[in-house]
Structures are given as C-alpha cells and as structure tokens.
Structure 1
C-alpha cells in the first residue's frame, strides 16, 4: 500500500524529464503539481485499499512530472557558474527541511485531528504552489522542434517502466512471499530482459532515445552508480533506524519519532548550502568520497547502537549520515547538469532524481531479503542489525568505487 507512490515516482521520472525537454519544463511541472493536488485530495476521501493505492500511484506520477522539470527550470534559467551552484544548493537544502517539516506537520495532524487531513493539507499546499508557479516561473523557451516531439521514444519509455516496475516489485515482494515463489524470480528475469532490450533499443535510436548518449558520459555513469549504492544504504539506515527507535526503544508516537529524527535537518541544510563553496575548493570526487564514507559510518553506527543509547550513538549517527545524501545529491546534480547541454537538462535531472528515489525502495527490498533469510523468525533486534550491516556493505562498495575510479574537476574547471 505504501509503495505505490514511490514506485510510480521512480518509474516515470526519466520519461517526464525527457518530455519536459521536448514540450517545456514549466508545462510539465504545472501538470505534475496539478496531479499532486488532485490525487492527494482524492486520497483523503478513499475508504478502501484499491482506490487508496490508485490515488497514491497517480500522485506519484504527478511528483515524477514535477521533480525533474523543477531541476530543468533551474538549469535552463541559470547558466553554469556560481549563481547556478547557489540555486542548486538551496534546492538541495529544501530536502531535509521538507522531510522534517512535513513529518512534523503530518504527525501533528494525525494526533490532533484525523489522518485524512495529512492528504488534505498536502493537496491544499500543492494547489497554492501551482497557482504561484503559473505567475512566477519563467515561460518555456527554445523548445524542441515539432519533428523532435513527434519522435518521442515511446518504446523506450515502455521498456523502462516495465523494467523498473518489475524489478522494484520483485525485490519488495520477495521478502514477503519468499523467493521460492516461481512468479517472483520469473518477473525478476523479465525485468532484467527488459533492461537488456532497453539498452539495445536506446543505442539504436541515438539522439532520439529516451536516455540520449549525451547524458551517459563516463563521469555521469560513475556519479549515477555512486548515488545508487549510497542512497540504497541511506534508505536502509533511515527505515531501520525508525523501526529500531519505535520497536526496540518503545517510542511509538508519531511526534516522538519525528523529534528523535530532528538532527538530520540542520546538518542537512548546512551540507547542501556548503556544496557550492566546497566544489570551488575541492575536486568533486573528494566531496563524493566524504559523502559515501558518511553513508558507511551511519549504517555501521546503526548496527552497533545499544538498546538504550540515543545520545551516545543514534544522535551522532543521524548527524553524520545526513552528510551522505545532501553532499552527494547536490554535488551530483551540479556535476551532471554542468556536463550536458541545455536541451538535456530535464533528462539529466530525471536520471539523478530517479536514482535517489528509486534506490531507496530497492535497498529496502534487498535488506528485507537479507533479514528474512539470515535471521528467519529470529529476534527483531538481530534482524535489524543484519539489515544495517547489509547497508554498510552497499556504502563500502560505493567508497571503493569513488576511491578507485571517480575523478571530477573543481567547479571552476567546468565550461562557462
């Protein structure tokens, strides 16, 4: 039930970024924000599971349309340089703020009124932002010619949706019904075949592909890989830290959980805003290395946290681990945005956003599988620690990749 939003969000991010490149990022952003307003409102009126899942899935499509095109609007409006760096840093800083403010508002509404007001509040907020965007955002300009719009890669889009959807479903369904179920590994095989078919199809189309080769340079691919590994480990840390605080330490109220996770917000904001300055003083791969080490340290600290040790272990782990997502996301967006032409800003932003959102869910599915098979019907605490160690392994692999293969120049060496 809770996965439908994240699933459609991850599946449609790249396609919506490409559509924004062709038809205009503002148009796609307005459409996406409108869908979020409509289907969050619809979620509040749902009385059964199927309509709820459908509304959450459609709201996820709305978010998928809005996120990469917001990045594209920024990339098109501000040329490479210090101003763009600052704008992307502010954009990245809004993530931890939104995480904590949104969580606090949701917890407050759930405990003081009714849970349905979470969706009503979100719908109202989206509607207000939509109206402001109509008047504030710059109009779309320099759009692709009509011939390019007619050649949108529908086949590639379908293959990508099938591949991502089935891959996500199988990794999250496997721990629930056991991997011995024939349909689980069969669908996983189908998803892998869809990925292979997508590769050859995109290679055949060239510049008209859903994922053009211009956004798949060696530097970009290494950035994507590191983001994938790091954010999978972060999803494991965040999910299992919440479970640990709730089920092991007994903090079972929404406001109590939100309060214990507060440390991620100020640290995250500081990190995101520091990225422009850091990029002018240090090579990008050094910042990336620090972010991957932060992912690793966070999961290791989660694995060894004592049952009664919030201030000694959990509190510092929350401060340290947030260096990972906020340094890596802002740095990754800047590096990829600066390495592609203006016409591919939406596609590049879609890929980075897809990786950071989609990998969270995949990491949880993999961690759940490890937990289910290593500690079958075992103590809850031991299962949580096993998942943390798995997340540590993902982050450690990212550290190795960055240390050995990733090399990025200082921002001053990018084209102006």
Structure 2
C-alpha cells in the first residue's frame, strides 16, 4: 500500500471511516436503550447518561484536542483517538453494569474528541484549495449517512443479535482505520514547535463542561438552582477564558482570535450551529412521530429516512466541487432554503394515519438541502485558514457545531414537551366526552401526567379492575387516538423553531464578502468561469 501513501483520496477515505465511526455512536445507542435497561437492570436516568456522557466529553474537549493536533501532529492525534475509541468500544460491549457502561462511553467520547478535529486539519493539509470543496463535500456526506445509519444499523443489530454488538461493530472498523492511518496518512506537522496553553485548556474545558451539562440535563432537573449555577459557572469561566486568551494572542493561544477576523469563518461558525439545530428538528420529532404515531419499528423508521440521506450523500460531494468553482455562498444559501422548505412541507403533510412513504417528497427535498450545506459551509469557513491554525479552526468549528446540537436538543425538546402538554390536554378533553365520569377524570389526569413525564400515560390510563371488555377496548382506542392527534398538533409548531433558525442561517450568508480569486487587482471585475464570483 506504500504507493497509495499520501494519495489525497486514500487519505480522505481513511478520515471518513474514522469520522463515520464517531458519529454513528451518537445515534446508534438510542435504539438499544430498552434492551440495555432489561439486561443491565438499569434505570432510565442511567441510560440517559450512557447517551449524554459521550456528547458531554466530546463537546468539552474538541477545542483542546484540535489545538493539540497543531502541537503534536494531526496524524498522531487521529491514530491515538481511533485506538482509544476502539478499545473503549470493546469495554462498552463487555460492560456488566450501568456504571461500567457509562465510564466506557466517557472514554469513547475522549477518543472521538481526539480524532474528529484532525479530520478537517488533515483534509486542509492534503488537498489544494481548488479541490478542497469536493473533499469536504465527501466529509459532509459521511455526516449525513452516519446520522441515518445509526438508528437503522442499531435496529438491525438489536433485533438480530444483541445490544452489545452496537459497540463491537466498531472494533473491525477501528482496526481497519488504524491500519490505513498508519500506512496511508502522511505525518504532517505545521506547528511542531507550538506549546499547549494549559490554563486555556482548563478554562475552556470547564466552560464547555458546565454549559454542555446544564443544557443536556436542564430539562430533567427543571432548570433549578444547580443548573442555573452551572450556567453561571460557564459564563464566568468563559469570561476568564476570553480574558486569558486575549493576553496570549501573540503567544500561541488556544483560541486564536484571528480566526474570527475572517468574515467567512465567523459567519460559517454561526451557520454551522443553525444547521445542527435544523438536524435536531428533523430527527427528534420526526423519528418519534414515525415510531410512536405511525407505529413503525426503529429499523423501518430508519429506512423511511434513508432515501433523503442518500440524496444528501450524493449531492454533498457535487456541491463541494461546485463551491470550488463558483464559490460556496450561493450554493449554501440555496441548500439552507431547500432545507427549511423541506421541513415546512413535512410539517404540512404530517397527520395521523399516514404511511411513511407519503413523506418522501418532503424528506427528499430536505435531504437535497442538507446535501448542499455541509461541503460549501466548511469550505467557506476554512478557505483562508493558515495550515498552522487548522487544528484550532477545526476544533472551534466542531465545538460550535456540538453546542448547536445540544442547544437544539434542549430547545426543540422543550417546545415539543410544552406543545405536547397543551395538545394532549385538549385532545383528551374532547375525545373523552363519552366516557363514564369516574373513568373520564382518571383518563384526563393520566394524560396530564403523561405530558409531564414522557410519552406514556402509564397506569392512570389503564381501566380499573372489573371494567367490561368492550369499555376497556374503547378506552384503549381513545387513548391511542388522543396521543396520535396530540403529537401531530404538537409536532407542527415544534418544527417552526428549526425552520426559523435555518432561515436565519440562510439570511446571515448575505454578510459574506465576495470571494476574490488569486491575483485579483482592485478595479478589475471579479469573475470565475465567466461569472461574477460570490
């Protein structure tokens, strides 16, 4: 394989496999929660920590590991991250109790944090500027495929083997990526003489940990005193971090402020957060709708989403290549507009009694929009980044993306819960009118409790002992109808939030400067291929 060493596309394949592996584990675990609860005798709270601790560690350490890649070399960090992630996957699969699984998931997050920023850094160092958009388009396609592959692959593995295989499947992938990284990826070090800013590392990690923990766990703890204290701590440590970084701008800072003096990087950082809010808005309510309202299995729900993500995967490299030729701003704006339009169409056609395939036109439009976003977005963001700052730029951009994901989860989840509480109460009051008075009161109370605690109405909706069979069946059908109609009525206003955020991201693109081709002279019209460059 020595003749392929340093080949840009072989390097990209290696990076994409590693990146795919880390993204897969963000979503694949959700499908296996019922099986893990049963076998490990775990509580729901412990299982939520299995999901959240991975994201928590990943988000908290991305900036640090990105800069560490500048110091130690991106290939070194990538290899270390893949190795750690693979070992942690084995430990996850062997876990015998919730504490062991949560600990192993934290180590997985550490491995993911080490390798993810290096993917962008190595792409920047491997591909020339005129071909970088196509490469980053492939990188974006991997993100889309991994997002949908998680629930689909997870459902297949859990239903055919055992929940432990959602982790064991990473082992052969990790081994292949390690072998490819050591033989194909060159060891390029642009900042070998840099030193790591340890006070900055401490303050950045504290800021991101407090913020991520508060946003992830806030809803569960009713945004009480402890969560407010964490948010306050995040604000204080952020202020201290920025003051410290300002004092080090001439002395190898962890966060070079020069990154944000480039308008493309600054605007795309904001856009990347809006895109992640949109992705959460697509997957969180829609996946619940497909499974809880249309009663599809997790695997089938994943298949319903698959065509849209395949369209996204096919378009993403093409959009990246076009951004190399004509600039990415207009492509990005068009993609964001399609993304928002697809979600709007989806909200309009959502109803009770649909089949999953009736949503394909709206979903495919959404997937086409997503496919036109990731490649151009990253291309524009990193177009003017110096190689020695590539790790820092990648770490910060990925951190902002993760914060967008976490903020999106908190915001979309809060709106969904609020709207669901109102719609379930209204639907229950309307549809329970023909139930006997005593049962009707119990029925209404059950749905009020369900809106506060989750998607199940619980014992309060079970008919009391001695209820005639036909009445019990009527109660069951009515409860099912209340939830289905209530969720649909809640889902539509919930989708309005990500639609508005994506539209804001599209609008922010007008702040971009026109792209100036190399050799441009003042007073000479800027053109690319006979057209004005954007």
TM-score (norm 1): 0.90
**TM alignment of 1:373-384, pairs within 5 A:** 373-376=418-421, 377=448, 378=451, 379-384=486-491
Equivalent residue number for residue 209 of structure 1 = 253
Whole-angstrom CA distance in 2 between matches of 1:18 and 1:127: 25
Equivalent residue number for residue 362 of structure 1 = 407
Q: Render the CA deviation track for 1:9-35: whole Å, top value 9, x for unaligned.
A: 122112111110111000000000011
Aligned 8 A contact 2:419 2:494 in 1: no
Q: Render the CA deviation track for 1:267-289: whole Å, top value 9, x for unaligned.
A: 11222111233224544221221
Query: Which one of the candidate residues 118, 126, 138 is aligned to 1:90?
Result: 138
* Stretch moving more, 294-303 or 239-248: 294-303
Aligned 8 A contact 2:290 2:301 in 1: yes
Aligned 8 A contact 1:230 1:295 in 2: no
Note if 1:333 corresponds to 2:365. Answer: no
Query: Which one of the candidate residues 277, 282, 285 is aligned to 1:240?
Result: 285
Q: How far 1:408 moved relative to its partner?
A: 4.5
Note if 1:386 corresponds to 2:435. Answer: no
Query: Which one of the candidate residues 220, 224, 227 is aligned to 2:265?
Result: 220
Aligned 8 A contact 1:175 1:372 in 2: no
Query: Which one of the candidate residues 193, 216, 225 is aligned to 2:236?
Result: 193
Q: How far 1:158 moved relative to its partner?
A: 2.0
Note if 1:407 corresponds to 2:513. Answer: yes
Please list every run of 5 or more consecutive structure 1 residues that lacks an aligned counterpart in the other structure.
none
Equivalent residue number for residue 169 of structure 1 = 213
Query: Which one of the candidate residues 297, 305, 312 is aligned to 1:268?
Result: 312
Whole-angstrom CA distance in 1 between matches of 2:519 and 2:221: 51
Query: Which one of the candidate residues 298, 321, 333 is aligned to 1:277?
Result: 321
* Stretch moving more, 21-30 or 284-293: 284-293
TM-score (norm 2): 0.71
- Relative distance call for 1:174 and 1:266 in structure 2 (3 A) is same
Q: Render the CA deviation track for 1:198-235: whole Å, top value 9, x for unaligned.
A: 22221111042111123222221111011112221221
Please list every run of 5 or more consecutive structure 2 residues that lacks an aligned counterpart in the other structure.
1-48, 422-447, 452-485, 521-534
What is the DSSP-based 3-state SS (H/G/I as helix, E as strand, rest coil) of the residue aligned with 1:4? helix
Query: Which one of the candidate residues 94, 101, 106 is aligned to 1:45?
Result: 94
Aligned 8 A contact 2:137 2:317 in 1: yes
Equivalent residue number for residue 121 of structure 1 = 169
Equivalent residue number for residue 465 of structure 2 = none
Q: Over the residues paired in the alignment, what is the CA RMSD in angstroms? A: 2.3
- Relative distance call for 1:361 and 1:316 in structure 2 (3 A) is farther
Tell which has more relative contact order, 1 or 2 (C-alpha 8 A, sep 6+).
1
Aligned 8 A contact 1:282 1:410 in 2: no
Aligned 8 A contact 1:24 1:140 in 2: yes
Q: How far 1:312 moved relative to its partner?
A: 7.3
Query: Which structure has the larger Rg over C-alpha atoms?
Result: 2
